[in-house]
Amino acid sequence: MNGSWLPVVGRRLISLVWVVVGVSLITFIISHLVPGDPARLVAGDRATPEIVAHIRSQLGLDLPLPQQYLHYMGQLLHGDLGTSIRTHRPVLQDIAAFFPATLELALVALILATVLGIPLGVLSAVYRNRLTDHLARTLAVAGISTPAFWLGLGLIVIFYGNLGWLPGGGRIDQGMAPPPGVTGLYLIDAALAGDWPVWRSALQHMLLPAITLGFVHLGVVARQVRSSMLEQLNEDYVRTARAYGLSPWVVVLRHALPNALIPSVTVLGLALGDLLYGAVLTETVFGWPGMGAYVVDSIQALDFPAVMGFAVVVSFAYVVLNLLVDLLYRRLDPRIRGIG
C-alpha cells in the first residue's frame, strides 16, 4: 500500500479538532438555552435560596458563560470532561462505566444485521422483481419503519412475559458477578476468563435488545447490498463469467458479492454510529445500563457536563470510526489502492 493514506489521516485529524470544538460549542450553547437551573435540581425544592446559591457557585455556574466554556475547553485538553452535576463523579468515569455496554449492544446488533442483511440483499438482487425480492424488500423496509421502542416492548412481552424463554432486562442474571473487566464487553471478557455460565447469561440477556436494534439496520444493510449487487450484476465481467459457463451462484457469491460489499463498508461505518445513539431508546426499554439511558437522564436533569461529555465522546468516536472505515475502504478497493 503506498503512503498516500498519510495526508488522508492528517486531514481527518485536523477535522477532528474542528469537530470536537464545534460539538462542544453547540452542545454548550444548547444546554444553556434549556430553561432550568441544575443547582436547584440538586438542592431540592425546599432548599433556601442561600443553599441554591451555594451549590451554584460550587458548580461554577455563576461565572459568565464564555468563561465557563473556556474553562471547560481547558479541562478538555487535559482529558477531563468535568464532574457530573447529578452523580458527583467525573463524567469520564461515568461514560467509561456505561460506554462498553452500549458498544457491545451496538456491535452484536450490527453483526446480526449484517449476517441476516447480506443474504437478504443478495437474494433480493438475484431474484429481482420476483416474489422473493418483494418479500425481502418488504422485510427490509419493515425493519427501517419500525419504531425500536415499540418492537422492544413487544418482544419483552412475548419472549419473557408469555414464553419465558429469555430474560426481561439487565445484562446478566441477578446475583452473578460480571466477568473481570478487560474490555467491558461481557461476551469477550467472560470468554477470556473461561467463565461459561456468565457467558451464556450475557448472551441470553443480549439477544432481545440486539434483535430490536438490529432489526432496524437489517433493512439498511439489505438495501445497500441489494443496490450494490444490482450494479455489479449489470457489469460486463459478470456476463463474461457466465458466458464462460460458471454456475450462477458461484458468480454471485465468489465474484459479484465481494465487489458489492466494498461500498457497503462505508454504510457499516455510518450504521455503527447510528446504532450507538439509536440505542438510546432501546436501552430504556430493556434496562440496559448503557449510555443511552445515561444521556436521557442527564438531559432531564440538566446535567450539562454529562451531556456535553457524551456528545464530545460520541462525536470523537464517530469521526475516528469513519476514518478507520475510510482507510479500510481504500485498502479494499483495488481501484483506489492501486492509483493512490
Partner 1 sequence: MSYFWYQLRRSPLMLLGLLILLAVGLAVGLAGWVAPYDPEQINLVQRLAAPSAQHWFGTDEVGRDIFSRVLYGGQQSIGVGLFVAGCASVVGAIVGCFSGILGGRIDGLIMRTMDVVLSVPSLVLIMALAAALGPSLFNAMLAITLVRIPFYVRLARGQTLSIREMAYVQAAWTFGAGRRHVVRWHVVRNAASPIVVQATLDVGGAILMAAALGFIGLGAQQPTAEWGAMVATGRNFLLDQWWYTVTPGCAILVTALACNLVGDGVRDLLDPKSRVK
Partner 2 sequence: MQFMIQTGARRAVMAAVMGLGALALAGGAAAATPADTLVIGKPADPQTLDPAITIDNNDWTVTYPAYQRLMRYKQVDGKGSTEVEGDLAASWTTSPDNLVWTFTLNAGQQFADGTAVDAQAVKQSFERLLAKKQGPSEAFPADMKIDAVDAKTVRFTLKKPFAPFLYTLANNGASIVNPKAMQRPDADAWLSGHTAGSGPYQLVSWQKGQALTLERNPHYAGSKKPVLDKFVVKIVPESSARRLQLQKGDLDVAEELPVDQLQALKKDKAVHVAEFPSLRVTYLYLNNAKGPLRSADLRHAVVDSLDYKGIVDGIMMGQAKQMRGPIPEGMWGYDADLPQPKQDVAAAKALVSKAGGVKSPLLLRYSTQDPAWEPIALTVQANLTAAGIPVKLEKLANATLRENLGQGNFDISIGNWSPDFADPYMFTSYWFDSDKKGLAGNRSFYSNPQVDGWLREAATLSDQSKRIALYKQVQEQVVKDAAYAYLYQKNYQAGLGANVQGFVFNPMLERVFNVADMKK
Partner whose binding site includes residue 71, from partner 1, partner 2, none (CB under 5 to 8 Å by kind): none
215 binds partner 1 (CB under 8 A): no
Of 55 and 218, the one with the shorter C-beta distance to partner 2 is 55
Residue from 281, 301, 306, 323 touching partner 1 (CB under 8 A): that is 281
Q: Which range of residues in 63-71, 172-180, 274-282, 328-336 is near partner 1 by CB under 8 A?
A: 274-282
DSSP state of 4: T
280 binds partner 1 (CB under 8 A): yes
Pair 81, 307: CB distance under 8 Å: no
Residues 6+ apart with CB under 8 A from 39: 52, 53, 55, 56, 59, 61
Pair 286, 208: CB distance under 8 Å: yes
- Of 145, 332, 323, the closest CA to residue 228 belongs to 332
Virtual torsion, Cα 134, 136, 140, 141, nearest 10 deg: 10
Pair 120, 139: CB distance under 8 Å: yes
Q: Which range of residues in 51-59, 66-74, 229-237, 272-280 is near partner 2 by CB under 8 A?
A: 51-59
How many whole angstroms separate alpha carbon 137 and alpha carbon 155? Answer: 22
Residue from 60, 184, 263, 289 touching partner 2 (CB under 8 A): that is 289
Region for residue 88 given its phi and psi (left: phi exceeds 0; alpha: psi -120 to 50; beta: otherwise): left
- Of 249, 75, 101, the closest CA to residue 172 belongs to 101
Virtual torsion, Cα 53, 59, 61, 64, nearest 10 deg: 120
Q: Count CB-CB contacts under 10 A for residue 324.
A: 12
Closest approach, Cβ 128 to partner 1, in A, equals: 8
The 230-259 contact track toward partner 1, x by CB under 8 A, reads xx--x-------------------------
By the 10 Å C-beta count (0-12 exposed, 13-18 middle, 19+ buried), 213 is classed as buried
Of 115 and 142, the one with the shorter C-beta distance to partner 1 is 142
Residue from 59, 271, 293, 306 touching partner 2 (CB under 8 A): that is 293
Closest approach, Cβ 157 to partner 2, in A, equals: 7
166 binds partner 1 (CB under 8 A): no
Residues 6+ apart with CB under 8 A from 139: 120, 218, 219, 222
Residue from 253, 324, 334, 340 touching partner 2 (CB under 8 A): that is 253
Pair 215, 208: CB distance under 8 Å: no
Residues 186-215 within binding reach of partner 2 (CB under 8 A): 200-201, 203-204, 207
List residues binding partner 2 (CB under 8 A): 34-38, 40-51, 54-55, 86-89, 94, 97-98, 101, 115, 119, 127, 132, 153, 156-157, 160-161, 164-171, 173-175, 178, 200-201, 203-204, 207, 249, 253, 284-287, 289-290, 293-294, 297, 300-302
List residues binding partner 1 (CB under 8 A): 15, 18-19, 22-23, 26-27, 30-31, 33-35, 128-129, 134, 137-138, 141-142, 144-147, 149-150, 153-154, 157, 161, 223, 227, 230-231, 234, 273, 276-278, 280-281, 295-296, 299, 307, 310-311, 314-315, 318-319
